[in-house]
Amino acid sequence: AQSVSQHNHHVILSEAASLELGCNYSYGGTVNLFWYVQYPGQHLQLLLKYFSGDPLVKGIKGFEAEFIKSKFSFNLRKPSVQWSDTAEYFCAVNGNAGNMLTFGGGTRLMVKP
Amino acid sequence: DAGVIQSPRHEVTEMGQEVTLRCKPISGHNSLFWYRQTMMRGLELLIYFNNNVPIDDSGMPEDRFSAKMPNASFSTLKIQPSEPRDSAVYFCASSRASSNQPQHFGDGTRLSIL
């Protein structure tokens, strides 16, 4: 069975600070990896995804994530956060045949203006 | 391109009543997922369908919950009888049936059982 761990449950940053949210998964085979964002009161939206190729993936709104296979990690980064980045961030993995996703528990990010 | 459409957006009802949540997936998507989100338990997958067939319903909490997908463009999640602990936001998502395709989420139904 696959699982996803997001170790930071809550993160508080000031505007312009750099962001890194951790995501580790357990699955020994080929994986597809996703980061979703959920703004307050809204639905989950795709930030970025990794299937193959360059392990450094760039997404929307200046976010990027790096797949490190040896560490089973897919951490999300942004060099300079904005107040509007306040949201909950979910890492998800698909390692099975089929397209069911396993989500991490989410990280709540608060950016102070 | 219309996204995943869920109705109603909000539902408030008394315990014991039947609740039906509806979802229209994105046209051309043949996988559909129902999730429940609460503060305590986070995001939970309840059930998912491929080509209208239920594939995994292990997340359905109990027999009071049932889901159907009579055709490719419509699914329902029913709770009967409803209980206060069912209060949550219920999301529907759809995707193409391939492991590298992202899921697209609807706006959710915020359910409150009094």
Among the listed residues A104, A107, A89, the one whose alpha carbon sits nearest the alpha carbon of residue A27: A104
**What span, in angstroms and rounded, lies between the C-alpha atoms of A10 and A107?**
6
- Per-residue confidence (pLDDT) for residue A31, from 0 to 100: 86
Residues contacting residue B77 through CB under 8 Å, at least 6 positions apart: B20, B21, B23, B34, B46, B47, B65, B66, B67, B90, B92
Which residues from B are below 8 Å from A53, CB to CB? none
- Written as six digits, the tokens of A67 are 């797949």
Neighbours of B53 (CB within 10 A): 9
Residues of A with CB under 8 A from a CB of B: 32, 34, 36, 42-46, 49, 51, 90, 94, 96-101, 103, 105-106
Average pLDDT over every residue of A15-19? 97
Confidence bin at B1 (pLDDT 50/70/90): low
CA separation for the pair A28, B80 (Å, rounded): 40
> Does pLDDT of A2 surpass 90?
no
A60: helix, coil or strand? helix
pLDDT tens for each residue of A24-47 = 998 877 889 999 999 999 999 999
For an interface test with B, which of A99, A103, A108 has the most B Cβ atoms less than 10 Å from its Cβ? A99
